[in-house]
Amino acid sequence: MSSNLKWKALFISAVIVACFVGLVGMPDKPTSWAGIKSNFASNIKLGLDLQGGTHLILQVQVQEAVSQETDQMLDHLMTQLRDKNIKYEELRKLNDTQILAHNIAPEQAGAVSNLVKDLYPDWQIAPAPGEASGYLLTISPTRIASIQQQTMDQAEETIRRRIDALGLTEPLVAPYGRGDNEIIVELPGEGDPNRAKSVIQAGGQLELHLVLDTTAYNSEAAAMAAHGGVLPPNAQIVQGKSSASGTSQSAGESWYVIDRAPVVTGRDLRSATPIRSTKNIGFYDVDFTLSTEAGRRFGPFTEQNIGKQLGIVLEHKLETAPVINGRIEDTGVIEGRFGEQEANDLALVLKSGALPASIKYLEERTVGPSLGADSIRQGFRASIVSLIVVMVFMVFYYRLSGVNAVVALLLNLVILLAALAYFGAVLTLPGIAGVILTIGMGVDSNVLIFERIREELRAGKAPVSAVDLGFKRAFLTIIDTHVTTVVSALFLGLFGTGPVRGFAITLVIGLLANLFTSVYVSRVIFDWHLVKMPREAELSI
């Protein structure tokens, strides 16, 4: 019995030591009070609501990527049908996932359906309802799912790269639970979401096109008219940014006719850096370097087109159109009269690549650091006051056994905090409320046991067997009550995010720790006391 007790005491001491190491012994061995404090601060991670920061939830418009796939398919199909000499009256996109082919000659219908089956396994072809010789092409659901997944992954990766480049401490970018293509972005310590939002939102699509026509037009219609109302198949019209330099244009709107196919796109960039502009003093430009492979294409291209303008198109708008003065291998400059931060952010966005689809913000929360500091202060004060109230009452009501309960309660809190530190869980304001609730509900187990022991003593049992029966009989009740609370906390954890999940986590950990402290630790203390106590003495309860 006695040696058994020693082992139990040793085990409890080991748990206590492990808890203190987890709380204040890491990452550096503390040598002073300040060291202990700073270790504690670094081990207990605070949620956004306590340290201040910005929380954004955004939705990736994945449908756009599906629609794009359909656009591409339409393009391919037209080429294929032309090559195979298959005649049709019209081929058009019906909606994001369907293409309608009108009036295909009946004798060529088989050829069309074979073509689709052979070359485009992701597409299903079927006769169009209500049309004798029309066909409906539909993208397969598995392909839609895979496009959506790819788009989400790519969007998350792109946003992460852009946010990381802002140089904030420990930002979080992750898919968000509700399953509607949502991404959560958390920026601890960032009180102003605007910069992060503009960086996330920027499309970052960079393309270099040859400018076909040196004139800048006042309107799209004017540009079209200058080319006889019909553009050549290889040309497109883009709008210029009002401040676009290097062109003959001065004020108002400007429109340019450029080559449809880009020479170089954002994907070909190796790096992009902001530099002080040499032309526009006080402004910044963005300098970029191309990958080797793109440079091999760019060199001959620039050589052949000396004297012509090269349009730098960002986000479907012509930023600048410098004249090609000589062969350029792999570097270029975007001149846009940018401010320093603007140039920085543009470089960053260019480097991280384009977002695969546009995004929409669903939620934005900003907690100022002063509110966080107030919350910590109030939460801490409330915890201490409730702890003192409960401790005083327990000792007053149960005397020495109350001291036992207080020890168990304090250990319960230490284990709870250490578990938060070990699991890297985040302490939120509702989490602090969870700690306070643990203080109140934690003594419940002790109360259940003690009341039971009192009953047994009243029934005339000796202290040793009263304690034994008290623990045994109360144990089942304790298990039942803990399970039901854990069930509700688990559902809460599944549903909630951020602060609410923090509450559920602290509540569950607190309850589990409570099982250990109030049943196991309290019992060991009782046994130890019973061994020391004279046989005839009364139990102080």
Q: Based on CB atoms, which residue is closest to other proteins, 40 or 361?
A: 361
Report residue 181 CA to chain centroid gap.
11
Please give the Cα distance from 206 to 398 (Å, whole number). Answer: 75
* Degrees to nearest 5, angle at CA 178 with 177 and 180: 120
**Do residues 189 and 293 touch, judged by C-beta distance below 8 A?**
no
Nearest-approach distance from CB 464 to other proteins, in angstroms = 21
Q: 133-145 burial, b for 16+ CB within 10 Å, e for fewer?
A: bbbbbbbeeebbe
**Do residues 507 and 438 touch, judged by C-beta distance below 8 A?**
yes
User: Both tokens of residue 533?
Assistant: 């106590």
Residue 320 pairs in a beta bridge with 312
Q: Based on CB atoms, which residue is closest to other proteins, 73 or 185?
A: 185
Q: Who contacts 260 (Cβ-Cβ below 8 Å, separation ≥6)? A: 209, 233, 234, 235, 236
Nearest-approach distance from CB 518 to other proteins, in angstroms = 12
Phi-psi region of 181 (alpha: psi -120 to 50; beta: other; left: phi over 0): left
Q: Based on CB atoms, which residue is closest to other proteins, 336 or 379?
A: 379
Q: Who contacts 324 (Cβ-Cβ below 8 Å, separation ≥6)? A: 302, 305, 306, 307, 308, 309, 310
User: Both tokens of residue 134?
Assistant: 């029309």
Q: Based on CB atoms, which residue is closest to other proteins, 356 or 372?
A: 372
Q: Based on CB atoms, which residue is closest to other proteins, 301 or 475?
A: 475
Nearest-approach distance from CB 510 to other proteins, in angstroms = 11
**Do residues 35 and 484 touch, judged by C-beta distance below 8 A?**
no
User: Both tokens of residue 256?
Assistant: 């340019």
Q: Based on CB atoms, which residue is closest to other proteins, 200 or 211?
A: 200
Nearest-approach distance from CB 380 to other proteins, in angstroms = 10
Q: 252-290 burial, b for 16+ CB within 10 Å, e for fewer?
A: eebbbbbbeebbbbbebbeebebeebeeeeebbbbbbbb
Nearest-approach distance from CB 394 to other proteins, in angstroms = 8
Q: Based on CB atoms, which residue is closest to other proteins, 82 or 360?
A: 360
Nearest-approach distance from CB 211 to other proteins, in angstroms = 33
Closest residue by Cα to residue 366 from 50, 81, 55: 55
Nearest-approach distance from CB 469 to other proteins, in angstroms = 12
Q: Based on CB atoms, which residue is closest to other proteins, 153 or 374?
A: 374
Q: Based on CB atoms, which residue is closest to other proteins, 25 or 189?
A: 189
Sign of CA dihedral 323, 325, 326, 329: negative
- Residue 358's CB is within 10 A of a number of other CB atoms, namely 12
Closest residue by Cα to residue 414 from 98, 40, 125, 122: 40
* Degrees to nearest 5, angle at CA 513 with 511 and 519: 95
Q: Which helix (H) or strand (E) holds 137?
A: strand 135-139
Ordered alpha helix ranges (H), 229-368: 292-304, 340-352
Closest residue by Cα to residue 462 from 387, 513, 362, 535: 535
Please give the radius of gyration of the chain, using alpha carbons only, rounded to the nearest integer: 35
Q: Based on CB atoms, which residue is closest to other proteins, 50 or 346?
A: 50
Q: Based on CB atoms, which residue is closest to other proteins, 5 or 469?
A: 469
Q: Based on CB atoms, which residue is closest to other proteins, 309 or 446?
A: 446
